A and B are shown apart, each in its own frame.
Chain A
Amino acid sequence: MFMRFVAAASCAAVLGSAALAQDYPSDNVTVIVPFAPGGASDTTARTVTQAMQADFGQPLVVENKPGANGAVGAAELARAKPDGYTIMVASIGTYGINPALRADLPYDPREDMEMLTVAVRTPNVLVTRPTLEVKSAEELIAMLKEQPDTMLFASSGVGSSDHLTAELFWQQTGTSGIHVPYSGGGPAQTDIIGGHADVSFQNLGAVAGFVREGQMKMLAIAAAERSPDFPDVPTFKELGIEGMEVYSWQAFGAPKGLDPAVKETLVGAIHGALEKPEVQETFKNLGFEVLANTPAEADAFVADEIARWSEVVKAGNITPEE
Chain B
Amino acid sequence: MEILGDLWLGVQTAFSFWNLTYCLLGVFLGTAIGVLPGLGPTATVAMLLPVTFGLSPETAIIMLAGIFYGAQYGGSTTAILVNLPGESSSVVTAIDGYQMARQGQAGKALATAAIGSFIAGSIATVLIAFFAPLLSSVALAFGPHEYFALMVLGLAASVVLASGSLLHAVGMILFGLILGLIGTDVQTGAMRFTFGSFELADGISFVVVAMGVFGLGEILSNLENEADRTTVLTKVTGLMPTRADLRAMLAPVGRGTALGSVLGILPGGGAMLSSFASYALEKKVSKTPQQFGKGALAGVAGPEAANNAGAQTSFIPMLTLGIPSNPVMALMIGALIMQGIQPGPSVIQDQPVLFWGLIVSMWVGNLMLLVLNLPLIGIWVKMISIPYGYLFPCIVAFCLIGVFSLANSTFDIWLMGLFGVAGYILRKLDCEPAPLLLGFVLGPMLEEHLRRAMLVSRGDVTSFFTSPISAVLLLVAALLIASVLAPAIRAKREEAFQDED
In the complex formed, the residue of A with least CB distance to B198 is: A68
CB pair A10–B410 under 8 Å, yes or no, is yes
| Chain A to chain B: the 7 pairs with minimum beta-carbon distance, closest first | A209-B344, A158-B189, A38-B330, A68-B201, A320-B189, A196-B143, A194-B140
**B340 contacts chain A at the CB level, 8 A cutoff:** yes
CB pair A75–B198 under 8 Å, yes or no, is yes
**A285 contacts chain B at the CB level, 8 A cutoff:** yes
Contacts of B333 in A (CB 8 A): 38
Give bound CA distance, A321 to B191, whole Å: 7
Q: Which one of A136-144, A185-193, A241-249, A256-264 is at the interface?
A: A185-193
**B324 contacts chain A at the CB level, 8 A cutoff:** yes
Give bound CA distance, A210 to B45, whole Å: 27
In the complex, per-residue mask of B328-352: 1 if CB is within 8 Å of any chain A CB, else 0: 0011011001101110111000000
**B456 contacts chain A at the CB level, 8 A cutoff:** yes
CB pair B407–A67 under 8 Å, yes or no, is yes
**A157 contacts chain B at the CB level, 8 A cutoff:** yes
Contacts of A10 in B (CB 8 A): 410
Contacts of A233 in B (CB 8 A): none
Which of A39, A65, A106 is within 8 Å of B408, CB to CB? A65
How many residues in B have their beta carbons less than 8 Å from beta carbons of A?
55
Which of B46, B189, B342, B407 is within 8 Å of A205, CB to CB? B342
Contacts of B242 in A (CB 8 A): none
**A281 contacts chain B at the CB level, 8 A cutoff:** yes
CB pair B267–A321 under 8 Å, yes or no, is no
Contacts of A157 in B (CB 8 A): 186, 189
CB pair B345–A282 under 8 Å, yes or no, is no
Give bound CA distance, A8 to B499, whole Å: 67
Instruction: Assess A43 versus B190: contact at CB under 8 Å? Given A38-B324, A178-B455, A213-B346.
Output: no
CB pair B338–A43 under 8 Å, yes or no, is yes
Give bound CA distance, A152 to B457, whole Å: 10
Contacts of A194 in B (CB 8 A): 139-143
**B225 contacts chain A at the CB level, 8 A cutoff:** no
Contacts of B267 in A (CB 8 A): 186-187, 190
In the complex, per-residue mask of A34-68: 1 if CB is within 8 Å of any chain B CB, else 0: 00111100110011001000000000000111111
Report 24 cross-chain contacts, Cβ distance below 8 Å, ordered by A residue. Answer: A10-B410, A38-B324, A47-B338, A66-B202, A67-B407, A68-B199, A71-B201, A72-B407, A158-B188, A180-B452, A180-B455, A186-B323, A190-B317, A191-B144, A194-B142, A205-B342, A208-B344, A212-B345, A213-B344, A282-B338, A285-B337, A285-B341, A286-B337, A286-B342
How many residues in A have their beta carbons less than 8 Å from beta carbons of B?
60
**B487 contacts chain A at the CB level, 8 A cutoff:** no
Instruction: Assess A320 versus B201: contact at CB under 8 Å? Given A186-B324, A193-B140.
Output: no
* Interface positions of A (Cβ within 8 A of B): 3, 6-7, 10, 36-39, 42-43, 46-47, 50, 63-69, 71-72, 75, 101, 104, 106, 152, 157-159, 178, 180-183, 186-187, 189-191, 193-197, 205, 208-210, 212-213, 215, 281-282, 285-287, 320-322
CB pair B196–A104 under 8 Å, yes or no, is yes
Contacts of B327 in A (CB 8 A): 36-38
**B448 contacts chain A at the CB level, 8 A cutoff:** yes
In the complex formed, the residue of A with least CB distance to B340 is: A285
In the complex, per-residue mask of B174-217: 1 if CB is within 8 Å of any chain A CB, else 0: 00000000001011111100001011011000000000000000
Give bound CA distance, A215 to B345, whole Å: 9
Which of A178, A190, A197 is within 8 Å of B323, CB to CB? A190
CB pair B201–A72 under 8 Å, yes or no, is yes
Q: B40-70: which residues lie under 8 A (CB-CB) from chain A?
A: 42, 45-46, 49-50, 53
**B322 contacts chain A at the CB level, 8 A cutoff:** yes
CB pair B324–A65 under 8 Å, yes or no, is no
Give bound CA distance, A181 to B42, whole Å: 25
Give bound CA distance, A215 to B141, whole Å: 14
Q: How far is the CB of A156 from chain B (nearest CB, A)?
A: 10
Contacts of A38 in B (CB 8 A): 46, 324, 327, 330-331, 333-334
Give bound CA distance, A6 to B404, whole Å: 14
Which of A50, A183, A197, A322 is within 8 Å of B53, CB to CB? A50
Which of B188, B322, B324, B341 is within 8 Å of A322, CB to CB? B188
- With most chain B CB atoms within 10 A of its CB, the pick from A63, A152, A180, A190 is A190
In the complex formed, the residue of A with least CB distance to B45 is: A37
CB pair B407–A183 under 8 Å, yes or no, is no
- With most chain A CB atoms within 10 A of its CB, the pick from B42, B53, B408 is B408
Which of B42, B53, B186, B458 is within 8 Å of A182, CB to CB? B186
CB pair A71–B334 under 8 Å, yes or no, is no
**B8 contacts chain A at the CB level, 8 A cutoff:** no
11 additional contacts, CB 8 Å, given A64-B407, A66-B202? A37-B334, A38-B333, A68-B201, A72-B199, A158-B188, A182-B452, A186-B323, A186-B330, A189-B323, A208-B342, A282-B337
